[in-house]
Structure 1
Amino acid sequence: MFTIEHDFDATVVTLVDEGEDGVKHLQEDVTINAFEDCITLEQLDPQTDRVQVITLSMAQVRDLAAALDLPEGVYRLRPVEDQGA
C-alpha cells in the first residue's frame, strides 16, 4: 500500500509494508520526498529509534529508474542529443 500527498514544495509518497500471507517481519514505512532538485528517502530505524535519511540527486534518480529495467552490467546514460547519430 502507498499514499501520495502534494505539499507546497514536495510530493510525498509513503510506502507501507503490508507483507504477504504468513510474513511476520514487516519493514518500517518508507517516506519518499520529491523536491525540485533532489529526492529524499526516510525510514525509522527501530534499533536506534532515529529516522535514517538518504538524499539522491536527480541524476541518481534517473539512473536508478533506468537500472530497474536493465540486466547486470555497468552503464552510463547519455543525453538524448548524443543518441541521434
Structure 2
Amino acid sequence: MFSIEHEFDATVVTLVDEGTPNLQEDVVLNAFDDCVTITQYDARNDTEVTITLSMTQVTDLAAALNLPEGIYRRKR
C-alpha cells in the first residue's frame, strides 16, 4: 500500500510494507525540485535515517529498475 500527498514544496510518497510476516517500517519519499529524500525509522537504533538523492541519481535509479545486471552510463 502507498499514499501520495502534495504539499507546498514537495510531493510525499509513503510506502507501507504489507508483505511477509517480517514487516519493515514505512518508507517516506519527499520529492523536491532539486532532490529526493528517503526516510525510514530504524528500530534498532531508535532513529530515523534519511538519505538524499540528486535528480540525476533518481533518474539513474529509475532507469536501473528496468535493466539486467551490469554497469551502465546514461547519455546526458
TM range (shorter): over 0.9
- Structure showing the higher strand proportion among its residues: 2
1:8 aligns to what SS in structure 2?
coil
The TM-score, its normalising length taken from structure 1, stands at 0.86
Matched residue, 2:71: 74
Matched residue, 2:9: 9
Runs of 4+ residues deviating >4 angstroms: none
% of aligned pairs identical?
A: 66
Corresponding position: 1:43 with 2:34: no
CA RMSD of aligned residues (A): 0.7
| Structure with max Cα Rg | 1
Q: Which amino acid aligns with 1:44?
A: Y
Give, in whole Å, the separation in 1 of the partners of 2:18 and 2:55.
Answer: 29
The TM-score, its normalising length taken from structure 2, stands at 0.96
Structure 2 residues without counterparts, runs of 5 or longer: none
